[in-house]
Protein backbone atom coordinates (compact mmCIF):
# COMPACT_ATOMS: atom_id res chain seq x y z
CA UNK A 1 0.00 0.00 0.00
CA UNK A 2 1.44 3.37 -1.03
CA UNK A 3 1.56 6.28 1.43
CA UNK A 4 -1.21 8.01 -0.53
CA UNK A 5 -3.45 4.94 -0.17
CA UNK A 6 -2.75 4.88 3.57
CA UNK A 7 -3.72 8.53 3.84
CA UNK A 8 -6.91 7.97 1.86
CA UNK A 9 -7.88 5.09 4.13
CA UNK A 10 -7.20 7.22 7.22
CA UNK A 11 -9.38 10.04 5.92
CA UNK A 12 -12.18 7.59 5.08
CA UNK A 13 -12.07 6.21 8.64
CA UNK A 14 -12.11 9.75 10.06
CA UNK A 15 -15.02 10.86 7.85
CA UNK A 16 -17.10 7.85 8.86
CA UNK A 17 -16.28 8.27 12.57
CA UNK A 18 -17.20 11.95 12.95
CA UNK A 19 -20.98 11.65 12.25
CA UNK A 20 -21.20 8.60 14.53
CA UNK A 21 -19.60 10.53 17.39
CA UNK A 22 -21.81 13.56 16.79
CA UNK A 23 -24.84 11.28 16.74
CA UNK A 24 -23.86 9.77 20.09
CA UNK A 25 -23.49 13.23 21.63
CA UNK A 26 -26.87 14.33 20.27
CA UNK A 27 -28.41 11.20 21.75
CA UNK A 28 -27.04 11.79 25.24
CA UNK A 29 -27.97 15.48 25.08
CA UNK A 30 -31.55 14.47 24.31
CA UNK A 31 -31.51 11.98 27.19
CA UNK A 32 -30.15 14.64 29.51
CA UNK A 33 -32.85 17.12 28.51
CA UNK A 34 -35.54 14.50 29.03
CA UNK A 35 -34.13 13.69 32.46
CA UNK A 36 -34.02 17.35 33.52
CA UNK A 37 -37.53 18.04 32.19
CA UNK A 38 -38.82 15.08 34.14
CA UNK A 39 -37.16 16.07 37.40
CA UNK A 40 -37.07 19.88 37.43
CA UNK A 41 -40.46 20.72 38.95
CA UNK A 42 -40.14 18.31 41.84
CA UNK A 43 -36.58 19.48 42.43
CA UNK A 44 -37.79 23.07 42.49
CA UNK A 45 -40.52 22.30 45.01
CA UNK A 46 -38.08 20.43 47.24
CA UNK A 47 -35.67 23.34 47.11
CA UNK A 48 -38.55 25.70 47.86
CA UNK A 49 -39.58 23.63 50.86
CA UNK A 50 -36.04 23.92 52.21
CA UNK A 51 -35.39 27.56 51.29
CA UNK A 52 -38.91 29.04 51.21
CA UNK A 53 -37.95 31.70 48.68
CA UNK A 54 -38.88 30.69 45.09
CA UNK A 55 -36.09 32.72 43.49
CA UNK A 56 -33.48 31.12 45.71
CA UNK A 57 -34.98 27.74 44.88
CA UNK A 58 -34.79 28.51 41.16
CA UNK A 59 -31.17 29.57 41.54
CA UNK A 60 -30.08 26.35 43.26
CA UNK A 61 -31.99 24.20 40.77
CA UNK A 62 -30.41 26.01 37.84
CA UNK A 63 -27.00 25.69 39.44
CA UNK A 64 -27.53 21.96 40.00
CA UNK A 65 -28.58 21.52 36.36
CA UNK A 66 -25.48 23.31 35.13
CA UNK A 67 -23.15 21.36 37.39
CA UNK A 68 -24.70 18.06 36.37
CA UNK A 69 -24.48 18.77 32.66
CA UNK A 70 -20.97 20.22 32.87
CA UNK A 71 -19.37 17.67 35.15
CA UNK A 72 -21.39 14.49 35.15
CA UNK A 73 -23.16 14.23 31.78
CA UNK A 74 -20.75 11.51 30.71
CA UNK A 75 -21.82 9.32 33.65
CA UNK A 76 -24.39 6.59 32.97
CA UNK A 77 -27.91 8.04 32.96
CA UNK A 78 -28.89 5.79 35.88
CA UNK A 79 -26.50 7.77 38.09
CA UNK A 80 -27.88 11.19 37.15
CA UNK A 81 -30.73 11.32 39.64
CA UNK A 82 -28.76 10.69 42.86
CA UNK A 83 -25.96 12.92 41.56
CA UNK A 84 -28.40 15.71 40.75
CA UNK A 85 -29.99 15.60 44.20
CA UNK A 86 -26.61 15.51 45.89
CA UNK A 87 -25.60 18.66 44.01
CA UNK A 88 -28.96 20.25 44.80
CA UNK A 89 -28.70 19.51 48.51
CA UNK A 90 -25.16 20.90 48.61
CA UNK A 91 -26.46 24.06 46.95
CA UNK A 92 -29.29 24.34 49.46
CA UNK A 93 -26.89 23.90 52.38
CA UNK A 94 -24.47 26.50 50.97
CA UNK A 95 -27.28 29.00 50.59
CA UNK A 96 -28.55 28.34 54.11
CA UNK A 97 -25.02 28.83 55.47
CA UNK A 98 -24.70 32.13 53.61
CA UNK A 99 -28.06 33.23 54.99
CA UNK A 100 -26.95 32.41 58.53
CA UNK A 101 -23.77 34.44 58.10
CA UNK A 102 -25.72 37.36 56.59
CA UNK A 103 -28.19 37.20 59.46
CA UNK A 104 -25.39 37.38 62.04
CA UNK A 105 -23.76 40.30 60.27
CA UNK A 106 -27.09 42.11 60.11
CA UNK A 107 -27.61 41.76 63.87
CA UNK A 108 -24.21 43.41 64.50
CA UNK A 109 -25.02 46.39 62.31
CA UNK A 110 -26.48 49.32 64.30
CA UNK A 111 -30.07 50.16 63.44
CA UNK A 112 -30.51 47.12 61.21
CA UNK A 113 -33.79 45.29 61.66
CA UNK A 114 -33.56 41.57 61.78
CA UNK A 115 -35.71 39.88 59.23
CA UNK A 116 -36.72 36.50 60.69
CA UNK A 117 -36.77 34.88 57.24
CA UNK A 118 -33.93 37.03 55.99
CA UNK A 119 -35.54 37.45 52.65
CA UNK A 120 -37.02 40.26 50.64
CA UNK A 121 -40.73 39.99 50.14
CA UNK A 122 -41.79 39.60 46.56
CA UNK A 123 -44.66 42.08 45.87
CA UNK A 124 -46.24 39.44 43.64
CA UNK A 125 -46.67 37.22 46.69
CA UNK A 126 -49.31 39.61 48.00
CA UNK A 127 -51.29 39.74 44.76
CA UNK A 128 -54.48 37.74 44.91
CA UNK A 129 -54.61 34.68 42.67
CA UNK A 130 -57.03 35.06 39.76
CA UNK A 131 -58.00 31.37 39.95
CA UNK A 132 -61.28 30.59 41.69
CA UNK A 133 -60.76 29.57 45.30
CA UNK A 134 -62.26 26.11 45.51
CA UNK A 135 -62.57 25.05 49.17
CA UNK A 136 -61.01 21.67 48.55
CA UNK A 137 -58.03 23.25 46.84
CA UNK A 138 -57.67 25.74 49.63
CA UNK A 139 -57.66 22.98 52.20
CA UNK A 140 -55.04 21.11 50.26
CA UNK A 141 -52.90 24.21 49.93
CA UNK A 142 -53.23 24.78 53.66
CA UNK A 143 -52.28 21.19 54.44
CA UNK A 144 -49.26 21.45 52.15
CA UNK A 145 -48.24 24.68 53.84
CA UNK A 146 -48.39 22.94 57.22
CA UNK A 147 -46.32 20.09 55.88
CA UNK A 148 -43.75 22.51 54.45
CA UNK A 149 -43.48 24.39 57.74
CA UNK A 150 -43.02 21.12 59.61
CA UNK A 151 -40.41 19.93 57.13
CA UNK A 152 -38.47 23.18 57.54
CA UNK A 153 -38.39 22.61 61.28
CA UNK A 154 -36.73 19.19 60.84
CA UNK A 155 -32.96 18.67 60.94
CA UNK A 156 -31.59 18.96 57.38
CA UNK A 157 -30.70 15.28 56.99
CA UNK A 158 -34.14 14.13 58.13
CA UNK A 159 -35.86 16.55 55.77
CA UNK A 160 -33.59 15.41 52.96
CA UNK A 161 -34.27 11.71 53.60
CA UNK A 162 -38.02 12.32 53.80
CA UNK A 163 -38.21 14.32 50.58
CA UNK A 164 -36.02 11.98 48.54
CA UNK A 165 -37.77 8.84 49.75
CA UNK A 166 -41.33 10.12 49.88
CA UNK A 167 -41.57 12.96 47.36
CA UNK A 168 -39.06 11.78 44.80
CA UNK A 169 -39.83 8.09 45.30
CA UNK A 170 -36.23 6.96 45.59
CA UNK A 171 -35.44 3.60 47.16
CA UNK A 172 -33.11 3.32 50.16
CA UNK A 173 -29.99 2.57 48.10
CA UNK A 174 -30.54 5.48 45.73
CA UNK A 175 -31.28 7.83 48.61
CA UNK A 176 -28.10 6.72 50.37
CA UNK A 177 -26.19 7.46 47.18
CA UNK A 178 -27.74 10.92 46.88
CA UNK A 179 -27.11 11.71 50.54
CA UNK A 180 -23.63 10.20 50.53
CA UNK A 181 -24.34 8.08 53.59
CA UNK A 182 -25.12 4.47 54.47
CA UNK A 183 -28.49 2.82 53.84
CA UNK A 184 -28.84 2.36 57.61
CA UNK A 185 -28.51 6.12 58.12
CA UNK A 186 -31.19 6.76 55.49
CA UNK A 187 -33.59 4.42 57.29
CA UNK A 188 -32.90 6.11 60.61
CA UNK A 189 -33.28 9.64 59.23
CA UNK A 190 -36.47 8.72 57.40
CA UNK A 191 -38.06 6.98 60.34
CA UNK A 192 -37.27 9.90 62.66
CA UNK A 193 -38.63 12.37 60.11
CA UNK A 194 -41.94 10.50 59.76
CA UNK A 195 -42.23 10.23 63.52
CA UNK A 196 -41.53 13.96 64.06
CA UNK A 197 -43.92 15.02 61.29
CA UNK A 198 -46.70 12.84 62.68
CA UNK A 199 -46.21 14.33 66.12
CA UNK A 200 -46.24 17.86 64.79
CA UNK A 201 -49.10 17.58 62.31
CA UNK A 202 -51.23 15.22 64.34
CA UNK A 203 -53.81 12.78 63.17
CA UNK A 204 -56.28 15.41 61.95
CA UNK A 205 -53.87 16.67 59.30
Partner 1 sequence: MNELRRDPFEERSRALFQDSVENLDMRIRSRLTQARSAAIAAAAGRRPWFLSLTTWAPAAGVTAAAVLGVALWLGSPLGHQTATLAVAQTNLEDLDLVASSDEGAGDAMEMMQDDLDFYEFAASAANPDSAA
Terminal Cα-to-Cα distance of the chain (whole angstroms): 82
User: Quick check: 178 and 82 in contact, CB under 8 A?
Assistant: yes
127: phi then psi, degrees, rounded to nearest 5: -80, 135
What residues contact residue 100 under an 8 Å CB cut-off, 6+ apart?
Answer: none
At its nearest, how many Å lie between partner 1 and the CB of residue 25?
6
Give the x-and-dash track for 160-179 against partner 1 (CB under 8 A).
------xx-xxx--x-----
User: Quick check: 66 and 160 in contact, CB under 8 A?
Assistant: no
> Which residue, 86, 84, 100, 96, is CA-closest to 57?
96
Q: Which of 36, 83, 156, 181 binds partner 1 (CB under 8 A)?
A: 36
At its nearest, how many Å lie between partner 1 and the CB of residue 154?
13
Give the x-and-dash track for 37-76 against partner 1 (CB under 8 A).
x--xxx-xx--------x---x--xx--xx-xxx--xx--
Q: Is 10 in the site for partner 1 (CB under 8 A)?
A: yes
Give the x-and-dash track for 142-161 against partner 1 (CB under 8 A).
-xx--x--------------
Dist. CA 187–CA 191, nearest whole Å: 6
User: Which positions from 80 through 109 interact with partner 1, judged by CB under 8 A?
Assistant: none
What residues contact residue 69 under an 8 Å CB cut-off, 6+ apart?
Answer: 32, 36
Which residues contact partner 1 (rule: CB under 8 A)?
A: 2-4, 7, 10-11, 14, 18, 21-22, 25, 29, 32-33, 36-37, 40-42, 44-45, 54, 58, 61-62, 65-66, 68-70, 73-74, 140-141, 143-144, 147, 166-167, 169-171, 174, 194, 197-198, 205
Amino acid sequence: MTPVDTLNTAWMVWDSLAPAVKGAVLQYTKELEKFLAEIERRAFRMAQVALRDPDDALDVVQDAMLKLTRNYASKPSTEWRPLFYRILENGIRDLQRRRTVRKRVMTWLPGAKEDPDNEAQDPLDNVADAAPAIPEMLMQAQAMQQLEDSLRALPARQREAFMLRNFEGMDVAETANAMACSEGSVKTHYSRAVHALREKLGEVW
